[in-house]
Amino acid sequence: MASLDLLLFNLACFVAGLFVLEYGADRFVDNTAILATRLNVSPTLVGLLTCGAEWEELVVIAVAVGRGEPSLALGNLVGSSIANVLASFSLGLLCMKTSTFDRSSKLYATTLLGLTSFFLLFMYLIPPRLKWLAGVVSMIAFVAYVTSVASLIYKGTLAAPEDDSDSDSDDDVNSNGSSSDEDEHTCEPKRLSRSRSFSPGSNPANCELVPSAPARVGRRARSRGPPREAKPFWRCIVRLLVGLAALLLSSYIISHSAGTIADELGLSETVVGMTILSVATTLPEKFIAIMGGVRHQPEILVANTVGSNIFLVTLCAGVMFIWGDAEKLGLGFTFFEALAMWASSALVLLVVLGGGKRWIGAVFLGLYVAFFTVEFVNGRRLDED
């Protein structure tokens, strides 16, 4: 009965974590798009530094390495990389009829394929005694990646569009209205029941208000008065961080409950790392992908997938290479899994270059079901020997 109680408790935690996950994903996607608009940069760049941070994966990998279980760490890294593409990116494509991607998406999708190739070369070609060197190179690659994204965001904030001053003045005036409800307008998509016009696939952050004539007159009258201080921009950042914190908290709850459920069902640690744990820890990416697809934000969809996988094969891989047991690292890592990891990165690049369609998402999802099935059928129970 004690085992049944433990199983039911962790099932309840798993379900509760899903609700927190949904809240965090909703907040995160909304404010990422708004923040990108305010910074005058592509949502891809903002998303690469935010939703592309696999902090829960880093925690799981660090704990596994600290406990002397590098096979679990490697299984989680590889499984999460595959799941981010075939199980998360595919869901976003399914939610959009068609999608085209910007230059930043194409650039970083190409970068992902290159970094994934180097990671696999490190796994197979570098001897155990030099694995630490591969970790150092991976860490340097992570620093270079973050620096490049931050630099592009900084340049974007300096290069304002020609009509930016007009739009900023309108935003500032509207944000300083007499109604207390307008406090939310600085960071939230503006709500106006009959005067908002936007296309079904447009970004909520870019919706244009169409004020009535009295409203325009009132605006001009207020503009003649003394200038007022604009609402603080940090509210957008705080709300984005709240969404990110909810994602991290929920992923922590979900991953731990999933691990306990797997133990109660008698699964090996290798199977847990490659399948169940990787699925659980990538649930934030799945929710963000769905929200990005529903709201037709392909840039956030790519940032979610590409940024997460770059984080995995650089920082997470660096931690594993430097502090993991090099002799045990890679035990049971098959050519099939390596091929699946590389092919998933190549497929993302092909979709970003050629454009996404709904049927492609269905194919990706089918490929992940096949991969998941093969992992279980092969009976990867090395930890039980």
DSSP 208: E
pLDDT digits (tens, 9 = 90+) for 134-183: 999 999 999 998 888 878 777 765 443 444 434 444 444 344 444 444 44
The pLDDT of 38-59, averaged and rounded, is 65
pLDDT at residue number 211: 43
pLDDT at residue number 179: 41
Most confident by average pLDDT, 22-26, 59-63, 237-241: 237-241
Q: What CATH number has the domain bearing residue 273? A: 1.20.1420.30
The pLDDT of 87-111, averaged and rounded, is 88
In this prediction the pTM is 0.67
Q: Is residue 72 part of a domain?
A: yes
Average pLDDT over all residues of the chain:
74
pLDDT digits (tens, 9 = 90+) for 210-230: 444 444 444 444 445 555 554
pLDDT-based confidence at 270, cuts 50/70/90?
Answer: low
pLDDT at residue number 181: 43
Q: Is residue 39 part of a domain?
A: yes
Please identify which residue in the block is written with the tokens 């999460």: 80
Q: How many CB atoms lie within 10 A of CB 4?
A: 9
The pLDDT of 53-68, averaged and rounded, is 73
Asked whether the predicted pLDDT for residue 382 surpasses 50, the reply is: no
The pLDDT of 225-254, averaged and rounded, is 72
Type of residue at 172:
D
8 A C-beta contact, residue 25 and residue 243: yes
Contacts of 71 (CB under 8 A, 6+ apart): 269, 270, 273, 328, 329, 331, 332, 382, 383
Q: d(Cα 282, Cα 172) in Å, to the nearest integer?
A: 39
Please identify which residue in the block is written with the tokens 């089918």: 366
| Token pair recorded at residue 328 | 């045990």
pLDDT-based confidence at 100, cuts 50/70/90?
Answer: confident
Q: Is residue 52 part of a domain?
A: yes
- Give me the percent of the chain exceeding a pLDDT of 90: 22
Q: Is residue 338 part of a domain?
A: yes
Asked whether the predicted pLDDT for residue 202 surpasses 70, the reply is: no
**Where does residue 216 rank: exposed (0-12), middle (13-18), buried (19+ CB within 10 A)?**
exposed
Q: Which domain holds residue 29?
A: 2-159+236-384
Q: d(Cα 1, Cα 273) in Å, to the nearest integer?
A: 27
Which is more confident, 116 or 212?
Answer: 116
Type of residue at 348:
V
- Give me the percent of the chain exceeding a pLDDT of 70: 69
As a 3-state breakdown, the chain gives helix, strand, coil percent values, each rounded to 5, of 75, 0, 20
Q: Is residue 192 part of a domain?
A: no
pLDDT digits (tens, 9 = 90+) for 316-327: 999 999 998 888
Q: Where are the alpha helices (DSSP H) in 100-212?
A: 103-125, 131-158, 164-175
**Where does residue 107 rank: exposed (0-12), middle (13-18), buried (19+ CB within 10 A)?**
middle
| Token pair recorded at residue 275 | 């399948």
pLDDT at residue number 290: 84
Q: Is the sign of the CA dihedral 130, 134, 137, 143 positive or negative?
A: negative
Q: Is residue 58 part of a domain?
A: yes
Q: Is residue 334 part of a domain?
A: yes
Tally of domains in the chain: 1
pLDDT-based confidence at 3, cuts 50/70/90?
Answer: confident
Closest CA to 167 of 208, 200, 132: 208
In whole angstroms, how far apart are CA 364 and each of 92, 94, 347, 351? 11, 10, 9, 11
Asked whether the predicted pLDDT for residue 108 surpasses 50, the reply is: yes
Most confident by average pLDDT, 43-52, 60-69, 278-287, 353-362: 353-362
Q: Is residue 201 part of a domain?
A: no
Which is more confident, 342 or 331?
Answer: 342
